[in-house]
């Protein structure tokens, strides 16, 4: 009888990482993605033309929706705040209340959430479709840096544009509040804006700017990360766009809570 030799298995089956380990692997990938952004973003060559195009594209995409939402928010917030102040005979404080609320919280948060839904999903879907159709691979073959051209410009554009849109939202919201006040009270536009701006401090402008920058960076980096690393064809493109919106909104709320606690230390 012929003896059959048993050869030992030289290659063991590698088990996939568990959910707990997968979380840390994802965090490490995100860390590498962000580190690569700072490396590519601050060293030449610079893509100024593409950066300008992305800034215009992000502002144009969000301008109409932000204008409508900001104007309605100013009207509704003023209308809802008037009865509470009237109970204490403090309706004269309404312009100050609206100005502080819009600049400190409502304008950055509204702009961030709208941009996360409008811009974040667009970035995720656009880069995701480029990934699954191998356009990004083609750019690498043609000696073009796809990360610098696609990711860096979009993240920088979102970081620059969102603060501008934030103050634009605050201005539109103040116009809506002025319209509501003018309908119910005998207050001129000059008196309204003078009263609302008197209570706003430099710290309020600083806090609003810092939050808007954080929100813009979060929207850009999340949308680019989800889209740049998407897979599974058209299904992956849809998942990348959806994940970009949900993740960006979740992180914006967390950043809002942390920033409020941080800047409240300087107000106490």
Q: For tokens 């929207």, what's the residue?
A: 219
Which tokens hold the place of 87?
A: 């109970």
Cβ distance 127 to 251 under 8 Å? no
pLDDT tens for the chain, residues 1 to 268: 444 454 454 445 556 666 767 777 888 888 999 999 998 888 888 888 999 999 998 888 788 899 999 999 999 998 888 888 878 777 778 888 888 889 888 999 999 999 998 898 899 999 988 888 888 888 878 877 888 989 999 999 999 999 999 999 999 999 999 888 888 777 778 888 888 888 888 998 999 999 999 999 999 999 999 988 887 777 788 888 899 999 999 999 999 999 999 988 887 6
Per-residue pLDDT tens over the stretch 33-60: 999 999 888 888 888 899 999 999 888 8
Cβ distance 123 to 242 under 8 Å? no
Q: What is the pLDDT of residue 250?
A: 94
Has this prediction a pTM greater than 0.85? yes
Give the integer Cα–Cα distance in Å for 54 and 61: 10
Q: What is the pLDDT of residue 16?
A: 63
Q: Smallest Cα–Cα separation from 74: which of 115, 106, 105?
A: 106
Per-residue pLDDT tens over the stretch 188-221: 788 888 888 888 889 989 999 999 999 999 999 9
């Amino acid at each position: 009888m012929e003896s059959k030799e048993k050869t030992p298995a030289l290659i063991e089956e590698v088990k996939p990482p568990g959910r707990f380990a997968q979380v840390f692997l994802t965090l490490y990938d995100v860390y590498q993605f962000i580190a690569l952004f700072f490396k590519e973003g601050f060293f030449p060559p610079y893509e100024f033309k593409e950066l300008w195009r992305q800034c215009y594209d992000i502002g144009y995409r969000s301008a109409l929706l932000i204008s409508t939402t900001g104007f309605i928010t100013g009207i509704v917030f003023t209308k809802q705040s008037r009865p509470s102040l009237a109970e204490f005979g403090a309706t004269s404080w309404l312009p100050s209340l609206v100005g502080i609320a819009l600049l400190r919280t409502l304008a950055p948060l509204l702009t961030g959430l709208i941009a996360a839904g409008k811009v974040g999903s667009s970035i995720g879907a656009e880069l995701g479709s480029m990934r699954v159709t191998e356009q990004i691979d083609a750019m690498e073959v043609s000696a073009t840096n796809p990360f610098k051209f696609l990711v860096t410009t979009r993240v920088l554009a979102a970081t620059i544009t969102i603060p501008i849109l934030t103050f634009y939202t605050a201005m539109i919201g103040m116009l809506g509040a002025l319209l509501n006040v003018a309908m119910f009270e005998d207050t001129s536009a000059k008196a309204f804006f003078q009263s609302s701006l008197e209570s706003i401090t430099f710290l309020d402008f600083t806090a609003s700017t810092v939050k808007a920058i954080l929100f813009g960076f979060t929207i850009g980096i999340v949308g680019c990360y989800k889209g740049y690393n998407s897979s599974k064809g058209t299904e992956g493109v849809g998942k990348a766009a959806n994940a970009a919106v949900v993740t960006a909104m979740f992180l914006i709320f967390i950043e809002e809570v942390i920033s409020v606690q941080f800047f409240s230390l300087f107000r106490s």
